[in-house]
């Protein structure tokens, strides 16, 4: 959500931003917003005036009672009753209009960074840099779930019977690998100075509403029957909700956290889960990084954060590239965003493994996360988030890039301490 004053006072900026995002005119909505906002403020003013009269009159009634002037008091009571009737109408209208205003404001996208490339959708995202050579070996790389099965490491059939489509059993070396990359990612981020966090995996409806749109809630969140609890879709939900309505001290910032959690997603909508293997599933685990900082620091943190992802994947011998999201592919709250994509030697293309975003104050404004500066002034914080690692999808990249012709999989040096010192793992069937 952006500041409504921006529309009021710097309309051109908002207009240009809308053009960049949608490349077509959605400008009438701004006129509508300005008009509604004007009405709401007038209603508020009217209401305030009536409330003022009510308050002072009520005080007078109290005094009259003390002086035993009962008749006069009763007359005033009638006055206030009439005021309350009028007030009720005003308040009703104000409530309706504010709601409408809020809905409209919600779909006004955050102002995007000047250097975000202009484009209509993800097909116009721009590759900025490659890290590591995207090698295609001269032997065939099997489908990732076949690699897993060669280690007896994946059982989707049983998972289907027990839990349904979209679930999986990981076993043996593959399960160990899963835990190993998470533990490695955790320690990697701790070494970068981030605080390791384990959040609640279920949150109240109120917290859900604070961190996502209704549409998202419907399509993603699993609800616990008979309880006011939802399974989280990412630890970001818990981690951001933690700061809702808080005023932080300047000395608290930056807050740099790396949170772990299982993630549960219904995956209703566009792609569904009709895909072989573990690319799109109802349950996965994720190590995440979340940063809250002062506004002047968010650009710097953004660059640090995506670089951490690149660095981590390179230590696991996985080639990656940085893909800059164009204007049309940016979610409404984002100021800028990039994907870190891992190389798939089987598909001979890159696929998304991390998504790094600077939301500037858009999220903080929605959630009222503020910082009180040393000079006493308050401002909204900036929030950023990025994936560190999200297996088992991440294991697809890992297995394909470390796969040997004989079916074994190399364990990169960095990960060996987490895999019992093994330099490679050997399949038990082919």
Binding residues for RNA, rule: CB under 7 A, are: 4, 41, 44-45, 47-49, 51-52, 54-59, 61-62, 65, 77, 80-81, 84, 204, 228, 247, 368, 370, 378
Question: 162 vs 247, which CB is nearer to RNA?
Answer: 247
Q: How far is the CB of 67 from RNA (least distance, A)?
A: 12
What is the Cα–Cα distance from 395 to 153, expressed in whole angstroms?
12
Question: 280 vs 372, which CB is nearer to RNA?
Answer: 372
Question: 323 vs 369, which CB is nearer to RNA?
Answer: 369
Question: 83 vs 331, which CB is nearer to RNA?
Answer: 83
Matching residue, tokens 């996502």: 212
Which of helix, strand or coil describes residue 138? Answer: coil
Q: How far is the CB of 57 from RNA (least distance, A)?
A: 6
Which of helix, strand or coil describes residue 407? Answer: coil
Q: How far is the CB of 188 from RNA (least distance, A)?
A: 27
Which of helix, strand or coil describes residue 184? Answer: helix
- Kindly state the helix (H) or strand (E) to which residue 303 belongs, with its residue range: helix 298-315
Q: Of 329, 289, 309, whose CA–CA distance to 397 is shortest?
A: 309
Q: Of 393, 219, 223, 416, whose CA–CA distance to 317 is shortest?
A: 416
DSSP letter string over 338-379? EEEEEEETTTTEEEEEEEEEE-TTHHHHHHT-EEE-TTS-EE
Q: Look up residue 51 and give its two tokens.
A: 């409330």
β-pairing verdict for 169-170 and 349-358: unpaired
Question: 91 vs 146, which CB is nearer to RNA?
Answer: 91
Question: 376 vs 421, which CB is nearer to RNA?
Answer: 376
Q: How far is the CB of 317 from RNA (least distance, A)?
A: 37
Q: How far is the CB of 105 from RNA (least distance, A)?
A: 11
Q: How far is the CB of 197 from RNA (least distance, A)?
A: 17
Inter-residue contact 125 to 116 (CB < 8 Å): no
Vertex 265 angle, CA 264 and 269, to 5°: 175
Inter-residue contact 285 to 261 (CB < 8 Å): yes
Q: How far is the CB of 378 from RNA (least distance, A)?
A: 5
Question: 333 vs 390, which CB is nearer to RNA?
Answer: 333
Q: Tell me phi and psi for residue 135, to 5 degrees.
A: -90, 135
Half-sphere exposure of 256 (CA within 13 A, CB side): 14
Q: How far is the CB of 333 from RNA (least distance, A)?
A: 18
Inter-residue contact 409 to 147 (CB < 8 Å): yes
Neighbours of 82 (CB within 10 A): 9
Q: How far is the CB of 307 from RNA (least distance, A)?
A: 34
Question: 57 vs 408, which CB is nearer to RNA?
Answer: 57
Question: 208 vs 323, which CB is nearer to RNA?
Answer: 208
What is the Cα–Cα distance from 154 to 202, expressed in whole angstroms?
27
């Amino acid at each position: 959500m952006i500041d409504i004053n921006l529309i009021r006072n710097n309309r051109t900026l908002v207009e240009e931003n809308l053009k960049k995002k949608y490349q077509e005119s959605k400008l009438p909505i701004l006129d509508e917003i300005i008009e509604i906002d004007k009405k709401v403020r007038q209603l508020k003013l009217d209401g305030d005036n009536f409330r003022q009269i009510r308050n002072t009159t009520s005080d007078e009634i109290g005094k009259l009672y003390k002086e035993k002037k009962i008749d006069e008091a009763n007359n005033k009571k009638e006055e206030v009753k009439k005021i309350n009737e009028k007030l009720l109408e005003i308040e009703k209208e104000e409530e309706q209009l504010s709601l409408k205003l809020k809905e409209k404001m919600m779909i006004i996208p955050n102002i995007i960074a000047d250097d975000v490339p202009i484009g209509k959708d993800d097909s116009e995202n721009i590759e900025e840099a490659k890290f590591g050579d995207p090698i295609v070996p001269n032997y065939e790389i099997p489908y990732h779930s076949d690699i897993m099965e060669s280690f007896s490491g994946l059982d989707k059939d049983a998972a289907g019977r027990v839990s349904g489509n979209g679930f999986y059993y990981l076993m043996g070396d593959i399960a160990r690998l899963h835990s190993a990359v998470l533990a490695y990612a955790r320690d990697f981020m701790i070494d970068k100075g981030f605080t390791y966090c384990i959040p609640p995996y279920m949150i109240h409806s109120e917290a859900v509403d604070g961190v996502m749109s209704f549409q998202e809630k419907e399509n993603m969140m699993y609800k616990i029957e008979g309880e006011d609890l939802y399974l989280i879709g990412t630890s970001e939900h818990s981690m951001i909700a933690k700061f809702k309505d808080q005023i932080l001290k300047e000395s608290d910032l930056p807050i740099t956290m790396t949170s772990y959690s299982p993630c549960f997603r219904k995956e209703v909508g566009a792609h569904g889960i009709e895909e072989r293997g573990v690319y799109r599933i109802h349950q996965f685990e994720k190590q995440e990084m979340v940063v809250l900082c002062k506004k002047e620091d968010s650009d710097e943190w953004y660059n640090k954060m995506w670089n951490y992802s690149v660095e981590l994947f390179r230590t696991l011998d996985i080639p990656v590239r940085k893909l800059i999201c164009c204007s049309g592919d940016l979610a409404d709250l984002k100021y800028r965003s990039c994907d870190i994509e891992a190389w798939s030697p089987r598909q001979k293309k890159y696929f998304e493994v991390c998504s790094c975003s600077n939301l500037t104050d858009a999220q903080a404004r929605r959630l009222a996360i503020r910082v009180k500066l040393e000079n006493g002034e308050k401002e909204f914080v900036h929030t950023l988030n990025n994936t560190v690692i999200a297996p088992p999808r991440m294991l697809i990249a890992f297995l394909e890039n470390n796969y040997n012709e004989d079916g074994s999989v190399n364990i990169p040096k960095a990960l060996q301490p987490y895999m019992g010192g093994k330099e490679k793992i050997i399949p038990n069937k082919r």
